[in-house]
Amino acid sequence: MQISDIPFGVTDWAALSPTEHPGDSGTAYWRTCTFGAIRVRMVEYSPGYLVDHWCHKGHVLLCLDGELHTELEDGRVFVLKPGMSYQVVDGAEAHRSSTAVGARLFVVD
């Protein structure tokens, strides 16, 4: 990731209005900021959330609260708890997320 031409700034995530993204089950709420080509999000998944697609985009994702299950297309499943993260590059391993209990995430992509 190349970070350039972005002046110092502070983000008050609580002041940003969330956008709603329904999954196959449950809902994701995104608070999003874009800095040049970099998208930064605070994401909350409701309990019982299952994303509605396989994702091929790269991310750096940090689990802040709850528990996130990330399944790769090859069947492997990784469980993230608070303080754990994952990273994947664009076009690498397709992945999808779910949570039984809900999760709050910080995502950079």
Question: pLDDT tens-digit profile of 57-100?
Answer: 999 999 999 999 999 999 999 999 999 999 999 988 999 999 99
User: What confidence tier does 1 reach under pLDDT thresholds 50, 70, 90?
Assistant: low
Question: What do you get for the CA distance between the two ends of the chain, in Å?
Answer: 9
User: Is residue 14 in some structural domain?
Assistant: no
Q: Is residue 4 part of a domain?
A: no
Does 8 reside within a domain?
A: no
Q: Has residue 5 been placed in a domain?
A: no
d(Cα 68, Cα 82) in Å, to the nearest integer? 9
Q: Is residue 75 one of the residues assigned to a domain?
A: yes
Q: Which domain holds residue 41?
A: 19-108
- The CATH number that applies at residue 28 is 2.60.120.10
Q: Is residue 7 part of a domain?
A: no
User: In what side-by-side order are the strands of the sheet with 49-50?
Assistant: 49-50, 95-99, 68-72, 77-80
Residue 13 is assigned to a structural domain of this protein:
no
Does the pLDDT of residue 2 top 80, yes or no?
Answer: no
Count of all residues that appear for the chain in the document: 109
Has residue 11 been placed in a domain? no
Number of domains in the chain: 1
- Six-digit token pair at 53? 């697609």
Amino acid identity of residue 58, one-letter, is G
Q: Which of 80, 86, 21 is nearest to 58 (CA)?
A: 86
